[in-house]
């Protein structure tokens, strides 16, 4: 070893010592690395070595990153590079400064700038023949591409880094790149391969006494074991990490999140929530935005499991705010979970928007889908729902099919279930297969029977005579019994193709609740009942969901009797009431375009609802569309005269004249 006196007089040796100890002695006051940088800077100033002063800034920037002060690290990295360029420092030093700025950019979520800088630094190091720093760039490219979800490219660069460290015999760097490569393989679902890399890295780190790298290897091993559902092994890895007592805020927080995930997978939800809350609080204190987003997302998932959907919406929105500039894969996971929670809360149109955003992110980087296997498994009801929905655009349906291919095993009928869309022409999807109903013969009553079983008898079931009276009110008991049992047999054998879908107990018939994943009629009624307890300004979002659900009359095209006819009229009445309430609220909140579209949807169902015509006229008035205002009223007058034999009500004319007179 060099004499201490010599080191104290050589500023670059002081900086080298600081670089070697970057990840150690965190939390000490005053910070030992900053003290080394201050001393080195003083020596450089004595020697009028301006590039040296900038070098000290680079080491300070790197230290700030390890402390979690990413914004400060980025500002210092930018300033140091500018100083080096200003004094025309040599290419090697400028390349190192560009590389340092790239890492700083990546820590604040500016991955595009980080990749640009890293590519530039890599080219410079290759031209300089600096294989060590070129290897560092390969490693960093792999990390950044992983964050972007470009997993195959990330794997390529990390393999290059591993080859460099193996050829140079650099065990410390090899362990770091093996950890990063293991993380990529875990994301790709290659958990056993990932474990091999983590074990190799841990053994190298243990031999070198590199506790920080050993801790990272244990974190990765825990994640790989989680992917294999080996929960006990995962927990042992995380507990072993705690025993290492590595003084690293970010690693400690990540460990708490992973332990929380492990508890969550085992449905130890209170333990999971407590760990997520701890991690979130610590990340907030340390300014670790990405880790805070992960912890908040875990809380959101737990709220979904507790059926506290409103609370989960807030957590997912908060998580996205923290993750938006970082890992794209984690953003997609949050979007899928948010959409799933919205669907469970009966907000299908809002769920669709989250799903569509997630799919758009995936389309930008197709490799992302390979890292979504577990999330898809947990949220597959969301994906299947919109895969089956006839209103889903074909392109999006193709994307959903590709995503569902990431499931480790084929979904069972219990997982895919029944999806019954009753508004408009009825559509039934059974275990992923669309079923069609005939308008002819006795089969024409099957949609109404199925709707009755799903809606009226969903809780306790119904006796055959109850259903028969509702569906065939004019038939005698014997004929009704025959018709009922023939229809149930046809439903089971031809439509459902499985006896388990319809339960019969003590002569009570019921659709198996475990298979009944979606019925728009049931959702429509639940949302309408929920709105009754809300103030108008609080209910607009749910009103729009109801309007979106109503795609036409109940079981359009099928002759309904008794219960079906009565329920069709009730649904139409509730739809029109909802259209009126929603368009009223939209006009009051200054959203005339949306109010216009909503009111016209109601008029498409019942043109002679004058209260909806009032809202159309008001919307045109708010928009200043005087020509459209006049045309609508003139057409309305003509149709009323022709069809009803008289003009609209005086109140309608008064409203028109008032709006027309406004400047």
Q: Is the dihedral of CA 344, 347, 349, 354 positive or negative?
A: negative
> What pLDDT score was predicted for residue 413?
60
Cis amide prior to 30 (ω within 30 degrees): yes
More confident position, 160 or 500: 160
Domain assignment present for 291: no
Domain assignment present for 139: no
Residues 486 and 531 in one domain: no
- Provide the phi-psi class of 437: left if phi over 0, else alpha when psi is between -120 and 50, else beta: beta
Count of domains for the chain? 3
**pLDDT tens readout for residues 582-623:** 999 999 999 999 999 999 999 999 999 999 999 999 999 999
Domain assignment present for 547: yes
Domain assignment present for 302: no
Residues 425 and 529 in one domain: no
Per-residue pLDDT averaged across 223-237, rounded? 93
Helices (H), 472-608: 477-490, 520-531, 536-549, 563-588, 592-605
Residues 514 and 530 in one domain: no
Per-residue pLDDT averaged across 140-152, rounded? 90
- Write out the E strands in 393-488: 418-421, 427-430, 433-435, 462-463
Residues 448 and 566 in one domain: no
Find out whether 655 and 633 touch, Cβ atoms under 8 Å: no
Q: Of 537, 560, 617, nearest to 609 (Cα)?
A: 617
Residues 439 and 554 in one domain: no
H or E, element range at 323: helix 309-323
Q: Residues of the chain with pLDDT > 70: what percent?
A: 97
What is the DSSP track for 563-585? HHHHHHHHHHHHHHHHHHHHHHH
What CA–CA distance (Å, rounded) separates 154 from 177? 11
pTM here? Answer: 0.80
552: domain CATH number is 1.25.40.10
Give the residue from 477, 497, 519 where a domain finishes: 519
Domain assignment present for 464: yes
Per-residue pLDDT averaged across 41-55, rounded? 89
**pLDDT tens readout for residues 284-295:** 988 889 999 999
Find out whether 536 and 581 touch, Cβ atoms under 8 Å: yes
- pLDDT-derived band at 543 (thresholds 50, 70, 90) equals very high
User: Domain range holding 639?
Assistant: 520-661
- pLDDT-derived band at 446 (thresholds 50, 70, 90) equals very high
What CA–CA distance (Å, rounded) separates 631 from 618? 14
Residues 456 and 563 in one domain: no
Find out whether 61 and 69 touch, Cβ atoms under 8 Å: no
Residues 468 and 512 in one domain: yes
What CA–CA distance (Å, rounded) separates 179 from 632? 68
**pLDDT tens readout for residues 377-431:** 899 889 988 988 888 999 999 999 888 888 777 666 666 788 999 999 998 988 8
446: domain CATH number is 1.10.10.10
Give the residue from 111, 129, 147 where a domain finishes: 129
At a CB cut-off of 8 Å and minimum separation 6, what does 512 contact?
500, 501, 502, 503
More confident position, 306 or 458: 306
| 542-545: long-range contacts, CB 8 A cutoff, minimum separation 24 | 542/347, 543/578, 543/581, 543/582, 543/585, 544/349, 544/582, 544/598, 545/346, 545/347, 545/348, 545/349, 545/350
Domain assignment present for 185: no
Residues 476 and 563 in one domain: no
Strands 508-511, 502-505: parallel, antiparallel or unpaired by DSSP?
A: antiparallel
Q: Is the pLDDT of residue 246 over 90?
A: no
What CA–CA distance (Å, rounded) separates 339 from 152? 28
* 484's tokens: 């009922």
Residues 536 and 612 in one domain: yes
Residues 497 and 544 in one domain: no
Give the residue from 519, 537, 564 where a domain finishes: 519
Q: Is the pLDDT of residue 442 over 70?
A: no
Domain assignment present for 535: yes
Per-residue pLDDT averaged across 133-154, rounded? 92
Find out whether 445 and 429 touch, Cβ atoms under 8 Å: no
Residues 566 and 614 in one domain: yes
Q: Picking from 113-127, 165-179, 462-476, which range would have the lowest pLDDT averaged per residue? A: 462-476
Q: Picking from 433-447, 488-502, 548-562, which range would have the lowest pLDDT averaged per residue? A: 433-447
At a CB cut-off of 8 Å and minimum separation 6, what does 205 contact?
175, 211, 212, 213, 214, 217
Residues 542 and 655 in one domain: yes
Domain assignment present for 169: no
């Amino acid at each position: 070893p060099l004499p201490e006196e010599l080191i104290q007089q050589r500023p670059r040796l002081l900086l080298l010592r600081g670089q070697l100890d970057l990840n150690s002695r965190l939390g000490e006051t005053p910070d030992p690395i900053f003290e080394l940088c201050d001393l080195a800077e003083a020596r450089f100033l004595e020697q009028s070595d301006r590039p040296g002063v900038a070098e000290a800034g680079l080491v300070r920037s790197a230290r700030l990153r390890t402390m979690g002060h990413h914004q400060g690290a980025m500002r210092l990295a930018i300033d140091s590079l500018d100083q080096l360029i200003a004094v025309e420092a040599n290419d090697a030093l400028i390349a190192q400064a560009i590389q340092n700025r790239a890492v700083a950019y990546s820590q604040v979520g500016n991955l595009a700038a980080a990749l640009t800088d890293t590519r530039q630094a890599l080219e410079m190091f290759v031209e300089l023949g600096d294989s060590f720093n070129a290897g560092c760039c390969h490693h960093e490219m792999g990390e950044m591409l992983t964050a972007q979800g470009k997993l195959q490219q990330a794997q390529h660069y990390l393999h290059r880094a591993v080859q460099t460290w193996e050829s140079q015999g650099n065990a410390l760097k090899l362990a770091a790149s093996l950890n990063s490569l293991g993380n990529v393989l875990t994301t790709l679902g290659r958990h056993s391969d990932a474990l091999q890399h983590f074990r190799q890295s841990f053994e190298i780190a243990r031999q070198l006494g590199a506790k920080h790298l050993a801790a990272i290897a244990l974190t990765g091993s825990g994640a790989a074991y989680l992917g294999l559902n080996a929960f006990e092994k995962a927990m042992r890895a995380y507990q072993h990490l705690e025993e290492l007592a590595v003084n690293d805020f970010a690693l400690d927080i990540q460990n708490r999140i992973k332990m929380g995930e492990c508890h969550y997978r085992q449905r130890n939800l209170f333990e999971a929530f407590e760990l997520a809350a701890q991690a979130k609080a610590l990340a907030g204190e340390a300014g670790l935005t990405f880790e805070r987003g992960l912890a908040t997302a875990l809380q959101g998932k737990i709220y979904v499991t507790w059926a506290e959907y409103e609370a989960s919406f807030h957590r997912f929105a908060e998580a996205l705010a923290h993750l938006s500039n970082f890992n794209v894969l984690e953003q997609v996971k949050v979007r899928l979970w948010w959409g799933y929670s919205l669907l469970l809360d009966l907000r299908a149109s809002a769920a669709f928007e989250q799903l569509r955003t997630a799919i758009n992110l995936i389309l930008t980087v197709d490799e992302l889908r390979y890292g979504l296997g577990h999330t898809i498994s947990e949220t597959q009801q969301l994906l299947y729902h919109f895969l089956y929905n006839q209103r889903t655009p074909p392109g999006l349906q193709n994307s959903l099919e590709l995503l569902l291919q990431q499931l480790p095993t084929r979904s069972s009928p219990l997982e895919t279930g029944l999806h019954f869309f009753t508004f408009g022409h009825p559509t039934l999807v059974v275990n992923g297969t669309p079923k069609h109903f005939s308008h002819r013969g006795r089969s024409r009553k099957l949609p109404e029977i199925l709707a009755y079983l799903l809606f009226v008898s969903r809780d306790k079931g119904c006796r055959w005579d109850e259903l028969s009276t509702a569906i065939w009110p004019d038939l005698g008991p014997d004929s009704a019994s025959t018709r009922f049992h023939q229809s149930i047999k046809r439903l089971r054998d031809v439509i459902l193709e499985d006896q388990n879908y319809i339960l019969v107990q003590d002569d009570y018939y019921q659709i198996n609740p475990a298979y009944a994943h979606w019925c728009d009629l049931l959702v429509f009624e639940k949302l309408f009942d929920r709105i009754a307890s809300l103030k108008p300004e609080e209910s607009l979002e749910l009103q729009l969901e109801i309007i979106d659900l109503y795609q036409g009359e109940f079981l359009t095209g099928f002759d309904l009797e008794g219960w079906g006819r009565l329920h069709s009229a009730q649904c139409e009445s509730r739809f029109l009431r909802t259209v009126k309430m929603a368009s009223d609220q939209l006009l009051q909140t200054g959203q005339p375009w949306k109010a216009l579209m909503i009111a016209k949807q109601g008029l498409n169902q019942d043109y002679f609802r004058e209260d909806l015509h009032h809202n159309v006229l008001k919307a045109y008035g708010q928009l200043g569309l005087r020509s459209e205002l006049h045309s609508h009223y003139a057409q309305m007058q003509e149709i009323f005269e022709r069809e009803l034999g008289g003009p609209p009500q005086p109140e309608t004319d008064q409203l028109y004249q008032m709006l027309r007179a406004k400047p």
